[in-house]
Amino acid sequence: MKAVIMAAGKSTRTYPLTLTRPKPLLPVLGKSILAWQIEALAPLVDGVVLVVGYRQEMIREQFGSAYQGIPITYVEQLEQRGTGHAVLQCADAVDGPFIVQNGDDLYDPGDLARLAAADSAALAMEVPDPRLYGIYETTDDDRVVRLVEKPTEVFSNLANIGAYKLPLEVFDILRETPPTVRGEIELTSAVHALAETSGFHVVRTRGYWLPLGYPWNLLDVNTWFLDHCLTPGIEGEVSERATITGPVYIGPGTVVRPGAVIDGPVYIGRNCTVGPNCWIRPYTVLCDKCGVGHASEIKGSVLMEDAHAPHQNYIGDSVIGAHTNLACGTITANVRHDGQNVKSVVGGALIDTGRRKLGAILGDHVHTGINTSIYPGRKIWPNLSTRPGDTVQRDLME
């Protein structure tokens, strides 16, 4: 059996992080989302089909023709015309029932195994607010009656979470499916058809589902993995005058200098430099080649590869892009004075992030000037800089 992972989209809602990489390559404990996905599928399938498009060369370079012994086939989706259109491109790449899943969500391996054992089915999770999702109405034996996108009438709390087990006949259904008003062919249309003809069921989740719809969700996902998937260990060089408490992983080639304090859970990748005299607080992830220097404090943040906070920085609840350098005195504010949730602009609209604490989201290759202060929830696009003493009150996009 094959698994199809849809990884072609541009992911504009996660800008600026996905201006320079496809969303499936965002890091979770130093490893890409896509790598975690393939590893979860490995016991269930004999090959993975990746539907690629946006910045596909980065995915091809990282995964090649096989990943950890699992053969990889690439199918190109030249136009992003919906999930059904993406699956339709794979008609010649699968030869029997197959799994399909989103390329930017993480699913519990046990739930995927139960899905793989089913016939025509989809994973479904009970959610507190059904109005935000596609919702299944089912019979007592979990046979699908209908699937309604963001219903105004609450008739069920079983949400569609974007993972399916589909028969080959789905390709004929998709070929006959008319595009929506947006010109897209949706996979949910095929689910409706299967439910009406041959039958379609839900497999209720027992484990986790971690979607990544907005840039700050990267913090949520890494926090969950730090709590549940971190394997503590020290493979780097740690000074006797450093202090480490709680579960911590420190990768090979990393040097932790005197006076550094690391309070787990924390993940630190390969060839990083930590200290002297800095504080790495819980739920921080430092990807490979990161640097945190004298008097810097990092709390609940993700620093992508080769990002640096070299001296007198406070980085709280933030995502710092690859190859970014924070000049001395750069501070990310992460709490509103009125105690309300932090808001952030996405696609021109100001939205509630649902987080009381959220710092900055910085793209790749950002350089701040000394004593830069950044308001909560603000974003800086890749390759941009601030001047000494700047206060970032609005997103910097040009």
Amino acid identity of residue 335, one-letter, is V
Tokens of 381: 């696009």
Catalytic residue among 85, 201, 308, 311: 311
In the block, residue with structure tokens 């959610």:
127
Tokens of 184: 């897209």
> In sequence order, what are the beta bridge partners of 294?
311
Strand, helix or coil at 26?
coil
Amino acid identity of residue 398, one-letter, is E
Of the candidates 329, 357, 330, the one whose C-alpha atom is nearest the C-alpha of residue 343 is 357
Instruction: Check if 294 is active-site.
Output: no
Tokens of 162: 């974007």
Tokens of 31: 């490893």
Residues 6+ apart with CB under 8 A from 176: none
Give the DSSP H/E element, type plus range, for residue 245: strand 243-245
Amino acid identity of residue 389, one-letter, is G
What is the Cα 395 distance to its own chain's centre?
21
Please, what is the Cα angle at 47 between 42 and 48, to 5 degrees? 85
Active site members: 311
